[in-house]
């Protein structure tokens, strides 16, 4: 229910004008449901949110109060209490029902904290007004700082090799491809072509892997990523963008797979000619990578070197080796 609603709704504001909450995507939103404007509890709650409003805004949040009151009643309430945040009229109770805060036709006091993507990250039910707005603010501030860290799915993604033999359902594979297809590309050319290999074709592809990629033999599906230089921008100075754009698509695919608990491990170690032949990829296309898909398995089944990599820390050069400020970083000797 919650996920379906998020910010996907439009309600009249206190002037009676329809307000599409999707306009707040990119900011945090505090959706607070209250039963009736002007009553003591609702007045205190509104005053508390109003007095903390500059601090909510400093953490890039909009406060949105929602009640079954008419726009006129909300307008009067806002004027009297000098409320500067958005008030919405949910007279038909659609939103309060959608958010599960309506009991026997009455709105329960509840607050939802939505993130920049419109996803509910925190919920307070049966709210007691004293101290509530302050608690919401503290939670928002914690979330705001947590979201400034490296994206957690990027941080935990690894090129894992230990796989289970279990199949990956078709709709999950489609989902990761969908994510890949949302990548940006030069002129929106979308030069990526994906071929999902399963069953007999997959078994044939596995014969084109070198011994070092033995671990991929357990994979229940692989995604071949192919493209052609003419499918994307070709600019001066050798700037052919097809490989770059396909790389971004695979990056998106891997992040999505990680979020879904899947392993998505791109490999370069395969014999491209037979793989192209098996999967009907034209000879003049570049078979950029095979993305090995699967569920994480037991590292005990890996060779020693791979087991150490699987369980060991992530290895990266220092940031200063790859990023310079106002000048190229020095290459390591």
Under the binding rule (CB under 6 A), the answer on residue 269 touching ligand FMN is yes
Minimum distance, C-beta of residue 190 to ligand FMN, in the bound complex (Å): 20
Under the binding rule (CB under 6 A), the answer on residue 258 touching ligand FMN is no
Q: Is 233 a catalytic residue?
A: no
Among candidate residues 42, 186, 233, 323, the one labeled active-site is 42
Beta strands in the chain (DSSP E): 10-12, 18-20, 28-33, 61-67, 86-89, 102-103, 106-107, 110-114, 120-124, 193-197, 221-227, 234-235, 239-240, 263-267, 286-294
Size of the site for ligand FMN (CB under 6 A): 10
Residue at shortest CB range from ligand FMN: 269
Q: Which of 51, 52, 34 is nearest to 42 (CA)?
A: 34
Under the binding rule (CB under 6 A), the answer on residue 243 touching ligand FMN is no
Round to whole Å and give the CA distance between 1 and 4: 5
Q: Is the torsion defined by CA of 210, 216, 219, 222 positive or negative?
A: negative
Q: Which of 158, 175, 201, 228 binds ligand FMN (CB under 6 A)?
A: 158
Q: Which is nearer to ligand FMN, 117 or 154 (CB)?
A: 154
Region 295-324 residues binding ligand FMN, contact defined as CB under 6 A: 314
Task: Let me know if 145 is exposed, middle or buried by CB neighbors in 10 A (0-12, 13-18, 19+).
Answer: exposed
Under the binding rule (CB under 6 A), the answer on residue 159 touching ligand FMN is yes
Q: What are phi and psi of 331, to 5 degrees?
A: -75, 140
Q: HSE (CB half, 13 Å, CA atoms) of 246?
A: 25
Under the binding rule (CB under 6 A), the answer on residue 152 touching ligand FMN is no
Q: Which is nearer to ligand FMN, 114 or 195 (CB)?
A: 195
Minimum distance, C-beta of residue 78 to ligand FMN, in the bound complex (Å): 52
Region 195-234 residues binding ligand FMN, contact defined as CB under 6 A: 213
In the complex, which residues of this chain contact ligand FMN (CB under 6 A)? 158-159, 161, 213, 266-269, 289, 314
> Which residue numbers are catalytic?
42
């Amino acid at each position: 229910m919650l996920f379906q609603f998020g910010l996907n709704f439009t309600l009249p504001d206190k002037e009676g004008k329809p307000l599409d909450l999707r306009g707040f995507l990119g900011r945090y939103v505090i959706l607070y449901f209250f039963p009736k404007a002007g009553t003591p509890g609702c007045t205190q709650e509104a005053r508390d949110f109003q007095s903390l409003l500059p601090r909510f805004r400093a953490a890039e949040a909009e406060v949105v109060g929602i009640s079954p009151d008419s726009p006129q009643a909300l307008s009067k309430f806002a004027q009297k209490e000098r409320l500067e945040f958005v008030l919405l009229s949910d007279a038909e109770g659609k939103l309060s029902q959608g958010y599960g805060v309506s009991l026997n036709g009455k709105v329960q006091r509840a607050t939802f904290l939505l993130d920049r993507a419109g996803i509910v990250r925190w919920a307070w039910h049966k709210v007691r007004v004293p101290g509530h707005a302050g608690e919401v603010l503290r939670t928002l501030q914690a979330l705001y700082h947590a979201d400034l860290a490296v994206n957690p799915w990027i941080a935990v993604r690894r090129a894992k090799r230990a796989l289970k033999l279990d199949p990956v359902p078709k709709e999950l594979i489609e989902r990761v491809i969908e994510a890949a297809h949302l990548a940006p590309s030069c002129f929106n050319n979308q030069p990526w072509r994906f071929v999902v290999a399963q069953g007999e074709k997959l078994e044939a592809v596995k014969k084109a892997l070198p011994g070092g990629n033995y671990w991929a033999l357990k994979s229940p599906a692989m995604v071949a990523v192919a493209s052609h230089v003419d499918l994307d921008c070709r600019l001066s100075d050798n700037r052919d963008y097809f490989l770059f754009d396909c790389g971004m698509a695979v990056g998106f695919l891997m992040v999505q797979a990680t979020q879904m608990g899947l392993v998505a491990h791109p490999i370069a170690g395969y014999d491209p000619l037979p793989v192209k032949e098996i999967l009907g990829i034209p000879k003049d296309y570049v078979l950029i990578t095979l993305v090995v898909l699967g569920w994480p398995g037991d590292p005990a089944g890996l060779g020693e070197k791979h087991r150490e990599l699987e369980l060991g820390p992530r290895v990266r050069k220092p940031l200063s080796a790859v990023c310079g400020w106002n000048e190229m970083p020095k290459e390591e000797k």
